[in-house]
Each structure stands twice: as structure tokens, then as C-alpha cells.
Amino acid sequence: MKGFFSWAGRALAFFLLIFLGTEILLNLIQAPSLQYYRNQKVLHRYNPIYYVDLAPNQDIYIRHFAGKWEGRFRTNSLGLRGIEEVDPVKPKLACLGDSLVMGFGVGDEDTFCNQLNGIELKGGARQSINLAVDAYGSLGAVRRLKDLVPKLKNVKEVLFFVSANDFTMPEELRAKGMLSDDEVDEIRDKDPSFNRNFQIQFELSKASYTLQALKLAVEQLKVQYTFTLFRLKSEWNSTGLSSESGNDQTSAKYMKDSFFRNVDTKCDPLSAETFKKKNGITEPNPSNMSQFEYKKQFCPEPIPDYFSCQEKEPIISSLEPLPRITQNAYDEMVEYTRSQGIKLIVVFIPIQVEEIFCRNRGKYHPLENYVLRASAYFEKKGIPVLKLRKETSEMCGEIIDTPKGKKYSGIRDYFIPEDGHLTVPGNNWAKRAVIKQLKELEKNHAF
């Protein structure tokens, strides 16, 4: 028995030594990719009501490990983005949503919510306050609203920005094991031990570089495992040998396609920038072409061949109703804001380039279905809805600053590549679009 305890003690000492060595090494190296996620972790804290929020009085400069964006991220004493403290006297306009609204991808001063500060609406100038936190779905949003409104005082309006991934998820991402935010919240609420377990792993991974690296690795392995199973299942079904689908004809087609097909020489679509370089096309800029000439010649942008637009949007009755958990969260938000005398305004920012390309050419993309489903639900309850659709025409021919100097904008300049969050021009556009539609709402006496 003594030999066992002696062996166990040596094994424990060995693993502790490895752990401490790894911790020290990671702290010294500060690899850009890990540091990027580390800074995000430090910026947050555990919240017993909605699992996570922003830690108060933070000041962190975050750089994306691939150089896609960088910016200063600060929070005030309430854990709201920006350093301006809440004025208990001023009437307030609150921004509610996820990472897009929080302003992930730009510095504090560039977020569109910060730029709304001082907007004149019925009743005077508003102090804009940013209640948004990344990864919040419908349920997280309403819980945060109910938690913070009593601490803010004199909130006049709440702009609730609905995100596509609140209750929908593209099939290719779902195949990788990713769920919508509302689905995740529903699973959490059904697990009585989730809150405790989440707090433990959150605090431990926040305290340790090593544990956070392990957590990230495990999450990636889960995604890859789920995606691999999906691909294997799809391949098996395509053979025609599974019970779900197939016959001899299907099996023969599988063998033919797998072993006797010609080599496919088609390439993936080129990006606009790669296409221009390959064909020697010079990008027009403000120094060699007027803005009027540019817009007349190049705007709106042509729809890429690989986007499938439709001639018109579908009838709302043909779409699935909102998930029950989403409906419940919306009902709770409507009831709460009315009980507090707060004007709830629902806003949809187009953030998927497919829908914007299609919309600017008078067509429709199915990725916009979530807008139809959610807006119809709120409109039935008498809640004003702002769809920033027509304003997307401005995403072409605007003069913007880039690291290489001034240039004329295209749709993709308003979003961080392969990320989806708004760039500085994207936030500037969102601010203008929101102000324009709020003023129209006020003009129509909807306030």
C-alpha cells in the first residue's frame, strides 16, 4: 500500500511540475493566437443570471492573431462597453444584442452604439448605453435587460438588434456541431448542474493559460469530431448501402462517380481582389475618378455567380414559426419594456453579404428568412421594426480610409473578412442607417 501512495505521490508531483512549466512557458511566449483568446477571456466574468457578462473597469488592447482587426476595449463601472459612466438624469437609449452590437472588431469610439450618443429624439438628447455582450441569444438579451434597467434609471428606448444566429444556424455549421444561441440556452436551462459546472470551468480557464488552451483544444476536437461523423454518414448514405437511402442503381452511381469520373477542373470562385490582380485591373480611387462616375459605373455591385438569389421573398406562412424558446423570450421582453414605460424598437442589420448583394440588385436571398420570421412576430405585437435594407445601397462608392490610403468602398469593406463583424466603415454605416430610420419613426409619430 505504501508503494502505491509513493508512486501516486511521484506521479502527482510530475504532473504538477509539467503543468507549472507549461503555465510559465505560455506566459512567457504569449503566442498571438492564444493571447487573442486570453484577452477576450479576461474581459469577461461569470454571471449567475446569464452565465457571462463584461467585467467592470477593464482596459485591454486586443489584436486579432491574423491581423484582421485591433482596438482598445474598455468597460465602465457597470461592465458596459466604453468608459463613460451612466448619468442617472439623462434620458437613455440602450443598445441590446450580441458581439456585433458590442462592437467586436473596432475600438470603443468606433462602435455604432457609441456614435449614437447625443442623438436628439422626442424628449431631448439621449445618452447611448451599450448593454450588448457577445454570444447572447434572445433569452440572454432579455435577462440582461431586466438585470440592468433598474440600475440605469431613465431608459427611454431599447434598440434590440436581432441576430441571425439567435435562432437559426446554416446547415454547414450545424453539421460541425454548432447550435443557435437560443438552442444552447434551452439546453443549459434544462440542466440543473450546468450553472455550477460552467462557473468552475470558467474561473479555472480564466485563471490559467494552460487550462484555457486545453479548453480551446477540446472545443475544436468536438467540432472536428461532429463534422467528421457528418461527412462519414453522408458518404455512407451516398453509397446506397445504408438503410436510410439507396438501391443497386445508387450503388452503381456511387462506384462510377468515385472511381471512373473525369477530373473536375473547376476552381473555387476568385475573390474580387485576386481576380483584379490576376487580370491586371487597377482599382479606381478618388484621385483618378470622381465619386459620381464611380457609382454610375460600378454600383450596385454585380452579384457573384456562386450566390443564389431569388426574384422575390417568400410568403411568411411558408416559413417555419419561431422556436418556442425564442417566442417566450420575445414575449417576456415586450411585456417587461411595456411595464417599465420603455419604447422597444427591434432592429435588423444585414450582416450576411449574400443578402446584401441580392438586395441591392432588387432580389432576395434565403439567408434573410430570419428577418421575415422575427419581424412578423414583433409587428403582430405592435412593436416598431427597423429593417436597414435600403441603406445597404450606400455600401458602394463611399470614400473610406484603408491602410493603403483612400479608396471607393464595396460591400465586403464593411465586414471583417471571414469573421462577419462590422469594420470601422461598417459601424459608421450602421450609425447613419439607424439614425435615419429612427428619425423616420419619430416623424411618423411612432414615438
Least confident of 28-37, 50-59, 194-203: 28-37
Q: What is the 3-state secondary structure (H, E, C) of 48-68?
A: CCCEEEECCCCEEEEECCCCC
pLDDT band at 10 (very low <50, low <70, confident <90, very high): confident
For CA atoms 166, 376, 427, 47, give the dihedral sign. negative
What are residue 316's phi and psi, to 5 degrees? -60, -35
Q: Please state the three-class secondary structure of the chain as a single string.
A: CHHHHHHHHHHHHHHHHHHHHHHHHHHHHCCHHHHHHHHHHHHEEEECCCEEEECCCCEEEEECCCCCCEEEEEECCCCCECCCCCCCCCCEEEEECCHHHHCCCCCHHHCHHHHCCCCEECCEECEEEECCCCCCCHHHHHHHHHHHHHHHCCEEEEEEECCHHHCCCCHHHHCCCCCCHHHHHHHHHCCCCHHHHHHHHHHHHHHCHHHHHHHHHHHHHHHHHHHHHHHHHHHHHHCCCCCCCCCHHHHHHHHHHHHCCCCCCCCCCCCHHHHHHHCCCCCCCCCCCCHHHHHHHHCCCCCCCCCCCECCCCCHHHCCCCCHHHHHHHHHHHHHHHHCCCEEEEEECCCCHHHHHHHCCCCECHHHHHHHHHHHHHHHCCCCEEECCHHHHHCCCCEEEECCEEEECCHHHHECCCCCCECHHHHHHHHHHHHHHHHHHHHCCCC
Q: What is the pLDDT of residue 337?
A: 98
82: CB partners within 8 A, 6+ apart? 74, 75, 76, 108, 111, 114, 130
Position 271 scores a pLDDT of: 47
More confident residue, 37 or 130: 130
- Of these ranges, 10-14, 62-66, 431-435, the one predicted with the greatest mean pLDDT is 431-435
Average pLDDT over residues 22-29: 69
The verdict on residue 177 lying in a domain is yes
DSSP β-ladder status, 92-96 and 127-130: parallel
- Has residue 250 been placed in a domain? no
Q: Name the phi and psi angles at 102, rounded to 5.
A: -60, -30
pLDDT of residue 66: 85
- Name which residue leads in pLDDT, 26 or 305: 305
In a domain, residue 165? The reply is: yes
Q: Provide the mean pLDDT of the chain.
A: 85
Cell numbers for 270: 476568385
Considering the domain boundaries, does residue 9 fall inside one?
no
For the domain that residue 438 is a member of, what is the CATH number?
3.40.50.1110
Question: Over 70: is that where the pLDDT of 176 sits?
Answer: no
Phi, psi values for residue 96, rounded to 5°: -125, 130
User: How much is the pLDDT for 133?
Assistant: 95
Per-residue model confidence (pLDDT) at position 263: 46
Model pLDDT, residue 20: 73
pLDDT tens per residue across span 261-311: 454 444 444 444 554 454 454 667 787 888 989 999 999 999 999 999 999
Range 173-201 average pLDDT: 86
List the single range of 12-26, 249-263, 420-434 with lowest mean pLDDT. 249-263
pLDDT of 131 over the 70 cut: yes
Query: Is residue 273 one of the residues assigned to a domain?
Result: no
**Grid coordinates standing for 59?**
482596459
Direct distance between the N- and C-terminal alpha carbons of the chain, in angstroms, rounded to an integer? 78
pLDDT at 254: 46
Q: Is residue 28 part of a domain?
A: yes
How confident is the model over 103-110, as a mean pLDDT? 94
Say what the pTM is. 0.85
Query: What number is the average pLDDT over the span 165-172?
Result: 83
Cis before 150 (ω within 30): no
Quickly state the pLDDT bin for 207 (edges 50, 70, 90): confident
Total domain count for the chain?
Answer: 1
Report pLDDT digits (tens) over 339-376: 999 999 999 999 899 999 999 999 999 999 999 999 99
Highest mean pLDDT among 9-18, 60-69, 386-395: 386-395
User: Would you state the pLDDT for residue 235?
Assistant: 60
- Per residue in 392-447, pLDDT tens? 999 999 999 887 788 999 999 999 988 889 999 999 999 999 999 999 999 887 66
What is the mean pLDDT of the segment spanning 30-49? 86
Give me the mean pLDDT over the 49-75 stretch: 92
Where in the sequence is the domain holding 317, given as residue range(s)?
Answer: 21-237+286-443
Q: Per-residue pLDDT for 55 more than 90? A: yes
Span of 53-57, 255-259, 280-284, 383-387 with lowest mean pLDDT: 255-259
The rounded percent of the chain whose pLDDT value lies above 70 is 80
What pLDDT does residue 266 have? Answer: 43
The pLDDT score that the predictor gives to residue 411 is: 96
CA distance 158 to 197: 33
- Establish if 96 belongs to a structural domain: yes
